[in-house]
Structure 1
Amino acid sequence: MTYLDYAASTPMTKQAIAAYAEVATKIYGNPSSLHDTGGQAASAVAWARGVIARKLGVHPDGLIFTGSGTEANILAILSLARSEKRGRHIITSMAEHTSVHAAMNTLESEGFEVTRLPLTAGGVIDVDMLKEVIRSDTTLISIQHVNSEIGTIQPVAKIAQLAKEHGILYHVDCVQSFCKLDVAFDTRLADAISVSAHKVGGPKGCGAVYFNPFVRVQPVFPGVTHERGLRGGTLDTPALVAFAVAVENYTYDMDKQWQLRKNLLHMLPEETFQIIEGPAESQLPNIVGICKTGMEGQWVMLKLNEQNFHISTGSACDINSASGTKAILAMGKTITEARQFFRISFGADTQVDDVVMCGEALQMRIFK
């Protein structure tokens, strides 16, 4: 089996697994309990919070643990939008993660107006277009850092600066970029940042959201007592420690990932395979978006699966969508083109032979 779906999830690192097992065995108290066993758990959580906050370049007091990146996105968007009294207009993009669209749909049902921007032909937000749609009642902007389907890097620093100049709150989904790019693009300009553990070798069911401590936030579930009253439920201490250990040990070799990408693309003839990507400076190399002329991406994925190559047709959270990936549609492609899309994504364990063999499989008769 050759796993080439790292943008969907990564295997837990050996260090994270060992940390999870040790904490689950030895530190089993509730971190909210006041006795010494609870204190041990609370200390472990505080350590994990500090590690992840330092990697984000933020103060640990603003970091809230969640059950996933999805939950982090939803909590951030709903909390910020409902807290700010400036207005009821929100700006996002057509290509955001499903969880962002879910939050936006909820806010629209409450009377908010949402402007969804397209992507350019290079798969990024046009900052000038963003500037044009800002209104006096714009209260929130939510634009991701890296698109999970095609790997394009959005101009988040420029967006954050623009938001601050206009007094608008800004949320950035850093689930795909965390530990791969410097997400401290200027974190003092971001009001909320979302991350997830299982994208960087940590456990599933674990994420975090940073809220700017100087911004008033309205809890989605008022009355809960955990995590500064912003997220209820007993914290999963072993998972949080494993998350932090994964962050400490995760490495992203940019040069290696670019070489893997070049090796794969070299094997795909341009007349039959269209690579969906941005310019090099706006592209995360380990996520490769591809369209195969005349074939549905799901068929390509299933045929590769028969050859023991595990890829995807886009975000795992959109697996039941019949319309194709959001990023392709946001770039002005047709639904037919979007349905031809599939994604190959590399990780730290991916080797040149893996992508060469995958390229050879894509050259087989069944794909001609």
Structure 2
Amino acid sequence: MIYFDFAATTPLDSEAAEVFVQASTEYFGNSSSLHDIGGQSQDLLENCREELANLLGVNKKGLYFTSGGSEGNFLAIEALLSAPKKPGKHIIAGMSEHSSIHGVLSRLEGYSLTYLPLNSSGLIDIEVLERAITPETVLVTVQHVNSEIGTIQPIEDIDSICREHDIHFHSDFVQSFGKIELKKIAPLVSSFSFSGHKIYGPKGVGVAYIDPAISWSPFFPGGSHERGFRPGTVNVPAIAAMTAAAQKINDQLGPSHDRFLELRGTLMESIDPIKEFVHIYQADPDSQLPSIIGLRIFGIEGQWMMLECNRHGFAISTGSACQIGMQAPAKVTQALGLSPQEGKEFIRISFGKTTKREDVVKLGETIVDIVNKFKN
């Protein structure tokens, strides 16, 4: 089986796995314990916090370790709403946000919500965002990189608008951390989140950042861990392994981007024979993560195409793994204005560090064969 679903999750890096085992056996103490063994674990925890803060260009006091991106999104939004910059009960969100964002917003009582669509290039229209703002708007939440088509939203422009109107700005960095240099972007937002398993770290661990200038109130009362941000004994081994994976992937940002650009071009060439049946949803190169390709093949349901590819030994997907099993099309297809039937034709192909050019060619040729057999 050749894997093309790196946007869903990644294998654990071997060096990160070694760090996990070492931390589990040598730094096993509870980081909140006052004895020396607990102190060693606490020191490792704080070293990881400082290293990740340095990678992101933010104050380490704002970093909190979580169970992953979904929990990070939930707790960050709850924290921002506990300390709004001004009175109000209006929130603006991208229509194509991750399901964890939609989940936390749908449970809020007393708030009005405005969802922003994407333009034909898969980007938020800044003018539409500005028109959506009211005196009641207290929060904007927009995903940095879309998990299904890989478009990169204009964080700097959105931040500027939010600051002008005294609005908190949360951004989901799950698909951008480890793929894009974030040192200039991370300090701009009120909060962000990312997840370890998207960057060859362990599953079940991630980070949320809240600007230290914000005096938030905890969602979980009485929690003693992570300065009250979340309850539960801190998973120091997983945090150490995630930090090791983060250091490694951030060292390769430039070369990885160039390699993914080449692989993307290779896939485009290989499916050229069926281009009349294919629509690829993408932005200009400056606003596009090259490792994620979201597309439709006209007249063929994405789930069927995914199963056919699986039968031929290729793992692709029909969208975010957090939505698999639901019958509704990927949220990005709704944000792009596609009909439900068109949305069901969507598939996603995503590359990772082990993706080989010859495997991309094989996948493209397989898709061409499947489509030709289906159409004939």
When the two structures are superposed, what TM-score results if normalisation uses the length of structure 1?
0.97
User: Is structure 2 residue 5 aligned with structure 1 residue 5?
Assistant: yes
Instruction: Report the identity percentage.
Output: 43
- Residue 87 of structure 1 is matched in structure 2 by 88
> Quick one: which amino acid aligns to residue 217 of structure 2?
Q
Equivalence for 1:53: 53
In structure 1, the residue matched to 2:262 is 259
| Distance of 2:30 and 2:38 partners within structure 1 | 5
Note the C-alpha offset of 1:330. Answer: 0.4
* C-alpha distance in 1 between matches for 2:234 and 2:349: 34
| C-alpha spacing 1:338/1:185, structure 2 compared with 1 (3 Å) | farther
CA distance in 2, matches of 1:82, 1:60: 21
Following superposition, the deviation at residue 324 of structure 1 comes to: 0.7
Supply the distance in 2 between the matched residues of 1:229 and 1:294 (Cα, whole angstroms): 51
Q: Which amino acid aligns with 2:174?
A: V
Q: Any conservation in 1 of the 2:318–2:348 contact (CA below 8 Å)?
A: yes
Query: Would the aligned equivalents of 1:258 and 1:285 in 2 still touch at CA under 8 Å?
Result: yes
Is 1:334 the equivalent of 2:339?
yes
Secondary structure of 2:50's aligned partner: helix
User: Which residue identity does 1:5 align to in structure 2?
Assistant: D
The 2-side partners of 1:304 and 1:155 are apart by 34
Give the superposition deviation at 1:185: 3.3
SS in 2 for 1:271: helix
Q: Measure, in 1, the Cα distance between the counterparts of 2:69 and 2:53.
A: 15
- Establish whether residue 102 from structure 1 lines up as the match of residue 103 from structure 2: yes
Alignment of 1:294-305 (within 5 A): 294-305=299-310
SS at match of 1:240: helix
The CA deviation string for residues 176-233 of structure 1, in whole angstroms up to 9 with x for no partner, is 0002112233433211010110111100000110000001212111211111111111
Q: Secondary structure at the match of 2:169?
A: strand
Which residue number corresponds to residue 348 of structure 1?
A: 353
Q: Map of 1:154-173 to 2, 5 A cutoff?
A: 154-173=153-172
Q: Residue 245 of structure 2 aligns to which amino acid in structure 1?
A: A
- Comparing 268-277 with 41-50, greater Cα deviation is found at 268-277
Q: Which amino acid aligns with 1:260?
A: L
Q: Give 2:101's aligned amino acid.
A: V
Gaps of 5+ in 1: none
Give the unaligned 5+ runs of structure 2. Answer: none
How far apart are 1:70 and its partner, in Å?
0.3
- Determine whether 1:271 maps to 2:276: yes
Shift of 1:321: 2.3
For the residue of structure 2 that corresponds to 1:139, the secondary structure is strand
Whole-angstrom CA distance in 2 between matches of 1:351 and 1:171: 35
Partner of 1:40: 40
The one-letter amino acid of 2:13's match is: T
Equivalent positions of 1:1-368 (< 5 A) are: 1-84=1-84, 86-107=87-108, 110-250=109-249, 251-252=252-253, 253-268=256-271, 269-365=274-370, 366-368=373-375
Question: Hey, what's the Cα distance between the residues in 1 that align with 2:94 and 2:226?
Answer: 29
CA distance in 2, matches of 1:248, 1:118: 35
Task: Tell whether the 8 Å contact from 2:83 to 2:214 is kept in structure 1 after alignment.
Answer: no
Stretch deviating more after TM superposition (274-283 or 289-298): 274-283
| TM-score of the superposed pair, with normalisation by structure 2 | 0.95
Q: For residue 121 of structure 1, report the CA deviation from its aligned partner.
A: 0.7
For residue 31 of structure 1, what is the amino acid of its counterpart?
A: S
Cα RMSD (Å): 1.1
Contact 2:143 2:171 in 1 (8 A): yes
Aligned 8 A contact 1:98 1:318 in 2: yes
Matched letter for residue 362 of structure 2: M
Aligned-pair CA distance for 1:367 = 4.5
Instruction: Quote the offset at 1:348 in angstroms.
Output: 1.1
Deviates more, 1:74-83 or 1:313-322: 74-83
**Mapped contact 1:55–1:179 kept (Cα < 8 A):** no
CA contact (8 A) 1:156 1:185 kept: no
AA aligned to 2:98 is H
Counterpart CA distance in 2 for 1:279 and 1:228 is 42
Distance 1:300 1:188 in 2: 41
Mapped contact 1:174–1:183 kept (Cα < 8 A):
no
* Letter aligned with residue 43 of structure 2: S
Aligned residue type for 1:261: R
User: 2 CA distance for matches of 1:238 and 1:83?
Assistant: 32
Task: State the AA in 1 paired with 2:147.
Answer: S
2: distance between equivalents of 1:324 and 1:183?
30
Contact residue 57 and residue 184 of structure 2 kept, 8 A? no
What amino acid is aligned across from residue 338 of structure 1 in structure 2?
Answer: G
Contact 1:176–1:199 (CA<8 Å) still a contact in 2? yes
CA distance in 2, matches of 1:188, 1:280: 24
Q: How many residues align?
A: 366
